[in-house]
């Protein structure tokens, strides 16, 4: 069974071109086409979620263009991998990609390899940056919220019981969680 998905980003845009392609070119039934009027960057897309929930093994999800399905290569690959794990095919009409055919599978394997390459390049750049910073005496990671002197002050203010948690946090410009981390106290019921 063919399940269609169409999306436009704003209410000013029109779904007609996509719907015509899904109905006439792909052969989807009108009742099996799900639609969204929302940016592709949004995580929650009700039309897409509904389309995905109706897909069963042997079905094919059809879109007019790849960018209607996801904004990034990573999103697309994750979605296509999910479909393949469920034994669901995928077709994109404009790009002539059909994962139910050997050529379409090859294209998505190439996309997957490119995405993996991109992740490795980012990881290598990050590691090189950290090594360069370390060579110049800088350490990576988040700096401590309190130095030893301020941590001791926090501990003594807390232990004295004369100051409210809010006052201690405001004085030291830290959150309650940070204060509890430094004083080794996880019990918050004593807040004044």
Q: So which residues are the catalytic ones? A: 9
* Both tokens assigned to 23: 């109905």
**Residue 5 phi, psi (nearest 5):** -140, 130
User: b vs e for 59-95, b when ≥16 Cβ sit within 10 Å of the residue's Cβ?
Assistant: bbbbbbebbbbbeeeeebbebbeebeeeebbbbbbee
What secondary structure letter does DSSP report for 179? H
Q: How far is CA 14 from the centre of its chain?
A: 27
Residues pairing with 33 in the sheet: 4
Reported as type and span, the H/E element at residue 90 is strand 89-92
DSSP 3-state assignment of 5? strand
């Amino acid at each position: 069974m063919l399940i269609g998905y169409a999306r436009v980003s704003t209410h000013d845009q029109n779904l007609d071109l996509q719907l015509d392609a899904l109905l006439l070119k792909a052969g989807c039934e009108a009742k099996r086409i799900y639609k969204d009027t929302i940016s592709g960057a949004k995580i929650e897309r009700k039309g897409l979620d509904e389309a995905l929930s109706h897909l069963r093994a042997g079905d094919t999800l059809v879109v007019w263009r790849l960018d209607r399905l996801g904004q990034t290569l990573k999103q697309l690959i994750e979605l296509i991998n999910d479909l393949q794990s469920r034994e669901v095919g995928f077709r994109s009409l404009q790009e002539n990609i059909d994962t139910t055919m050997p050529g379409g599978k090859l294209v998505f394997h190439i996309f997957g390899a490119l995405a993996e390459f991109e992740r490795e390049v980012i990881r290598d750049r990050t590691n090189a940056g950290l090594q360069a910073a370390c060579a110049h005496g800088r350490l990576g990671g988040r700096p401590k919220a309190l130095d030893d002197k301020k941590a001791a002050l926090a501990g003594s203010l807390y232990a004295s019981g004369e100051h409210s948690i809010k006052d201690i946090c405001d004085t030291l410009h830290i959150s309650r969680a940070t204060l509890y981390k430094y004083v080794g106290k996880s019990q918050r019921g004593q807040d004044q």
